[in-house]
Each structure stands twice: as structure tokens, then as C-alpha cells.
Amino acid sequence: MIVTHLNLSNYRNYAVADVAMVPGANLFVGRNGQGKTNLVEALGYLSTLGSHRVSTDVALIRAGEDAAIIRARLQHNGRDLLAEVQINRTGANRAQINRGQIKPRELPRYFSSVLFAPEDLGIIRGDPSGRRRFLDQLLVLHTPRLAGVLSDYERTLKQRNSLLKSARVSGLKANQLTTLEIWDDKLVSLGSEIIDERVALVAALEQPIRDAYASVVGDDHGPALSALLSIDGVDTDADAPSTSGSSAASEEQTAATAERFRAALALQRRSELDRGLTLVGPHRDDVLFELNSLPVKGYASHGETWSFALALKLASAELLRRGSNSGDPVLILDDVFAELDLNRRARLAAAVGGFEQVLITAAVLDDVPEGLTAHTVHISAGRILETAEEVARG
């Protein structure tokens, strides 16, 4: 899949922007703070429904405006698709495909992208919520049906938490106990599916991460590397099968996870009532990334952590490419080349060369290997520079 056109309205520092893109590499160049990241962030939003830089949408709307619009014309196998989202300062966001209304959470079904940016170091170094977000965004792109499961789980969790809170205040009454059991059933059924899908995803990512790390770092043997999902209170099957295009987990496996989840909930019942909070489930899980038998977080050097985060994203793109019938995900590399030495720049260029479309941002044109600079777009102060004179003026 490729993006042939991106059109922005009141997004970040763009009043309007209209950019044509080509298959293969597209390079966006400009001095610091001109709007390069803003442009690719907008595309990333269409497949992750969020920014890699901020946790709320408000910062994406141009200062002083009420709504931002991101519109992308996509192409796959000669067929065009128009994807659009309107991000509103007040009220719900709205999304369209070919001018027909859809739920915003359905957008990743139509557009798949993988963005790597320096902020991704936070996936490794930050708290577990960032790792859960990484996994869930990838899950939804890989198996779109799970968007609904994840949002139903969130809703169930909220309702269960408010029941636990009110039971804490008033003491658990018989009717509340019955209601709690109903919420337990929903939590366990939705949560077990999420746990099993995450476990299978992590297992499927291991080899691609190893390959990507080896190709970026230049170690032909690849590191001894693993990604383990630690489930808070619910042990998972370490030999989970790899994800396929459809649902990955077998019925018996889901039943076994559900049983363990239920037992862990029963163990925590007293504490949950004391604290008015759901203490077990996929909303508290974590992934442990290891390099040469040591956790990456807290042990790996800055350079190793950086290469690991990059490998994580390249592996994600590889996994989506294999499991997809709509072509490669669009690969976005934001501010990446400046961080690499010449050798690694060439290696990364080779690693991404096979993707249908790669979008790259850089402040300095010379930082990017020549093979990736054929289609260069210059940006200045929230404007796409159209002519050679404009580019010369900067």
C-alpha cells in the first residue's frame, strides 16, 4: 500500500498542506521546528489513532482552531481509497472512508503504517503502559477485529471499577455481588482473548526482531534476544503458537487462560474490594525485552537500546507485511538517520529498501543515503515549498 496524497487542514502548524507522494522513498527536509514530524505524525495517526508524541489529541489541532482534518489518498493494486479523520476540540472525532462514515477505530483496517521515531526509546525505557500500547496498536493492525475486543474490555474494566469503588464505600451487598460476577465473566472472556493474542504476537515478533537487530547492527549471527510477556497474576503458555492472519489462539488455550485469569481474580477479591480497583488483567501486563539474557531496560547501552527500538519497529513492519493482503505497511522513519554512523545509515537504507513506500524526515539532507533522496519535499514554517526559488530562499 502507498499514500499518493496527504492533505491537512489546521493540523499542528499547517493551516493547509497538500503533498503528493511517490512509491519508494519520500524525503521531507527542513530546518528544525518547520513541520516535518507534524506531517508524518498525521499519517501515523490514521493507523494508530494517536500521536507518537502526545497522549491526547488536543495538541494536534492548530492553535486557535476547533478541528484538524487529515485526509489521505491511498493506493493498493491500482485501487484508490480516500481515508479521512476529523479531530475535534470538543465532541467525538469523526472518520470517513470514500466519504462514507465509519467509526474512527475502524481506520486501521484501511491503512497500515509503522512509524519509528526517537520517542520510541520510551517503549523500552518507559513504564509498562507504553509497551502495552505498542503491542495493542500492532495487534489491531494485524488483526483488526481486536479493536472492538480492546474497546469492550476498556468499557468493562471501567464499569467493574466503578462497581468495586461503590462497594468499597457502602460494603458489598448481595445484589452488587451478583452484578460483580457478571462483570467478572465479561472481564475474563474479553481479557483472556487479549492475553492470548498478545502472547502469540510476542512469540511471532521474536525472530523478526532478531533479524532486524542483526541487519541494523551488522551482527550476522543476531543477538541472543527474547521478548517475554509477563502477566500479572496469570501465567501464560510460553509455547504459544505464532499469530496467523486469523485468530491466533486455540479454543483450549483460551479456556486455559480464562481459568487462570479467573483464579487470579478470586485470589485478589479482598484486595480489589479494599482498593476499589481491578488488580488483575491485560491492563496490568508487561513485556520484558532481553538482549543477551539481560533486560534491555536498565542494562542495555544507549546505542543498543536505540537499535533495539528500531528493530522492534522494523520487525512490526515485517510481521504486518507477511500477514497482510493489502500489501506492505507504509514505513515512516522520523529523524532517524542523524542518529546513525555512515555504516548503519547504509545498513538501514538497505533494510528498508524493499518496502513499497518509506517516508523519511531529516533536518540535514546529507544525513540521508543518496539512494533515498530521489523524491525530496522541502518544508518551511508549516508550508510545502513548491518551486526551486522557494527552496533556495528557504
Ligand X SMILES: Nc1ncnc2c1ncn2[C@@H]1O[C@H](COP(=O)(O)OP(=O)(O)OP(=O)(O)O)[C@@H](O)[C@H]1O
Helical residues (DSSP H) of the chain, grouped into ranges: 36-48, 121-125, 128-142, 146-170, 174-217, 251-275, 302-322, 342-352, 388-393
Distance in angstroms (rounded) separating the CA atoms of residues 18 and 361 = 17
Is 371 within any annotated ligand binding site? no
Distance in angstroms (rounded) separating the CA atoms of residues 92 and 382 = 26
To ligand X, the closest distance from the beta carbon of 94 in angstroms equals 19
To ligand X, the closest distance from the beta carbon of 8 in angstroms equals 11
Q: Between 58 and 267, whose beta carbon lies closer to ligand X?
A: 58
Q: Between 30 and 282, whose beta carbon lies closer to ligand X?
A: 30
Distance in angstroms (rounded) separating the CA atoms of residues 265 and 122 = 30
User: How wide is the angle at C-alpha 225 spanned by C-alphas 221 and 226, nearest 5°?
Assistant: 145
Q: Between 30 and 327, whose beta carbon lies closer to ligand X?
A: 30
Work out whether the CA dihedral 77, 82, 87, 93 comes out positive or negative: negative
Is 347 within any annotated ligand binding site? no
| Pairing verdict, β 14-20 and 2-11 | antiparallel
Is 126 within any annotated ligand binding site? no
To ligand X, the closest distance from the beta carbon of 64 in angstroms equals 8
- Is residue 153 within 8 A of residue 194, CB to CB? The reply is yes
Q: Between 12 and 283, whose beta carbon lies closer to ligand X?
A: 12
Is 37 within any annotated ligand binding site? yes
Distance in angstroms (rounded) separating the CA atoms of residues 238 and 233 = 15
In the range 40-79, which residues lie near ligand X by CB under 6 A? 59, 61-63
Count of residues engaged in binding ligand X, rule: CB under 6 A: 17
Question: Which residue in 262, 292, 131, 278 sits closest to 198, CA to CA?
Answer: 131
Is 281 within any annotated ligand binding site? no
Distance in angstroms (rounded) separating the CA atoms of residues 75 and 2 = 5
Is 24 within any annotated ligand binding site? no
Is 33 within any annotated ligand binding site? yes
To ligand X, the closest distance from the beta carbon of 32 in angstroms equals 3
Contact mark string toward ligand X, 8..47, x via CB under 6 A? ----xx----------------x-xxxxxxx---------
Residue with cell 493482503: 325
Contact mark string toward ligand X, 323..342, x via CB under 6 A? ------------x-------
Q: Between 272 and 335, whose beta carbon lies closer to ligand X?
A: 335
Binding residues for ATP: 30-37
Residues at the site binding ligand X, with contacts judged by CB under 6 A: 12-13, 30, 32-38, 59, 61-63, 335, 361, 363
